[in-house]
Amino acid sequence: MLHVSSRPILFVSLLFGALALFTPLRAAPAPSLHARLHLDTAQGDDLASVNSPTRAFRTIERSRAAIRSIPAPWTGDVELVLHGHPLLLQSPLNFGPANSDRDDFHLRITGDPAHAEGTILDAGVRLTGWSLHDRANNIWRAPAPSPASPA
């Protein structure tokens, strides 16, 4: 009669399982970066010939045009860094095929990590002309513009 113990197999299985639990996981490598552009609505300059954190573009339109002008082939992702000032949108923000997914790389829009308060994309509309509509319930009203149609 042949008797085979399963204890060594169980021990080896537990050993490899424990090693797997304590082996640090490595994060996937960050995609390579082909270009980094900067946007600063307070201090930027759309006429700047060089774009850097200290020479950022002022408008999203200028930033979008710069992204579209980056020649193919892209060798990595393109990043647009929004610096800490609110970006007030007067119309829909549209990025199309000319702005992304070239040569299997992507456009990334990120906030500036140096600004702890974060970056704000504000698409609200300031309402003026408020009037008291219902005094008993303290209800106010103001005329609102028609919604913008997608471009």
Which sequence spans correspond to the domains of the chain?
Answer: 33-122
Question: What are 67's two structure tokens?
Answer: 């992204």
Q: How far apart are CA 148 and CA 7, in angstroms?
A: 71
| Stretch 77-82: mean pLDDT | 89
The answer to whether the beta carbons of residues 100 and 109 sit under 8 Å apart is: no
pLDDT digits (tens, 9 = 90+) for 48-58: 888 888 899 99
124: enclosing H helix or E strand: none
Residue 10 has phi, psi (to 5 degrees) of -60, -45
Confidence category of residue 12, pLDDT binned at 50, 70, 90: very low
| Stretch 124-130: mean pLDDT | 84
Q: How far apart are CA 57 and CA 82, in angstroms?
A: 10
Percent of the chain at pLDDT exceeding 70:
72
The answer to whether the beta carbons of residues 107 and 33 sit under 8 Å apart is: no
Quickly list DSSP for 24-49: PPPPPPPPPEEEEEEE-TTT--TT-S
Kindly tell me if the per-residue pLDDT of 42 is higher than 60: yes
DSSP 8-state assignment for residue 52: B
- The pTM (predicted TM-score) of the whole model is 0.60
- Distance set, CA 38 to CA 77, 81, 91, 137 (Å): 14, 5, 20, 47
The long-range contacts involving 55-60, CB below 8 angstroms and separated by at least 24 positions, are 56/83, 60/87, 60/89, 60/93
